[in-house]
Amino acid sequence: MSRRLELRQVSKRFGDIDVLAGITLHVEPGEFVSILGPSGAGKSTIFKLLTGGLEGYGGGVDFDGRPLADARRPFAFMPQHDALMPWRTVIDNTALGLEVQGMSRKAARDKVAPLFGEFGLAGFEQRYPAQLSGGMRQRAALLRTVVQDRAMLLLDEPFGALDALTRTGMQRWLAMMWDRHRWTVLLITHDVREAVFLSDRIYVLSSRPARVLREIAIPLPRPRTDLVSPEASAIEADILDTLLDPQPAQRT
């Protein structure tokens, strides 16, 4: 079986600033992979490359064994802030991707409506985003993402803007949802605990220009319910060492 997504030595410059310096990573079908790195490292640049928001980069990107350019919009993207449209009701926000795909508004609504219960949004279909809590907004944004039925989800720091308690709740909820659906996910985050808790594998990126410092497999059993098991804490400490002291030679 070919890899779902493969980046080979991908590099990107903005003017004379190197942002990505030869990123090599891959994601298998049904795998949850995280890209973990400091803020401003260029993590979001990788997503912009993938979703076609940027032209001109070095290296190669394959999707299902073929060049990405040949794939037809294989990603469903969830941006950093929920990007819900304040003028659309929750149901029309979640149906947005389907409408853009050419589905009629009625058909798109009919397709998302049955999922509101599972996403904890039942009864809020006709509300506006301003009437939702932060956690509900993120669940609506995730529903908008997954309902597009794309081969792979790209989640860009989905819980970054939430308060700590809501974030923890959302992380557990996402882990539960992933166990049920086994989406292929590439997650960007700077939250080490979140990456360890959710991922099968983690790529640790350096600060700019971004390189892959380490690739770490997370062998913790699933379903995971506990964010702070002793095993998870050990992996977390190890990753933090890498991030905070990236030069192995200087380590004592």
Partner 1 sequence: MSQSFSAAPRIAALFAKIGPALLSVGTLVLAWELYARISGISPTTLPAPSRILAQAIQQRQALFDNTVPTTSATLVGFACSLAVAFLLSVLIDFFKPLRRALFPVFIISQTLPLVAIAPLVILWFGFGLTPKIMLVALVTFFPMLVALVQGYESTDRDISALLSSMGASRMRIFLLARLPSSLPYFFAGLRISITYAVVGAIFAEYAGAAKGLGIYMLNAKNNFRPDLVLAAVLISALLTLALFAATVLIQRAAMPWERLDAARKS
Residues that bind partner 1 (CB under 8 A): 48, 51-53, 73, 75-77, 79-81, 83, 85-87, 96-97, 99-101, 128-131, 148
At its nearest, how many Å lie between partner 1 and the CB of residue 45? Answer: 12
- Closest distance of CB 22 from partner 1, Å: 25
Cβ 35 vs Cβ 46: under 8 Å: yes
We find the least distance from the C-beta atom of residue 17 to partner 1, in angstroms, to be: 20
Distance from C-alpha of 160 to C-alpha of 181, rounded to nearest angstrom: 23
Contact 206, 244 (CB under 8 A): no
| Cβ closest to partner 1, residue 53 vs residue 67 | 53
Minimal distance, residue 139 CB to partner 1, in Å: 16
In the complex with partner 1, the residue whose CB is nearer, 16 or 55, is 55
SS3 81: coil
CB of 35 to partner 1, least distance (A): 17
Q: Which of 223, 159, 166, 229 is nearest to 194 (CA)?
A: 159
Among residues 125, 202, 120, 193, which one has the least CA distance to residue 159? 193
Closer of 17 and 85 to partner 1 (Cβ):
85
Closest CB to partner 1 among residues 148, 168: 148
Give me the phi and psi of 188, to 5 degrees please.
-100, 135
Nearer to partner 1 by C-beta: 54 or 220?
A: 54
The identity of residue 105, as a single letter, is R
β pairing state of 75-78 and 152-156: parallel
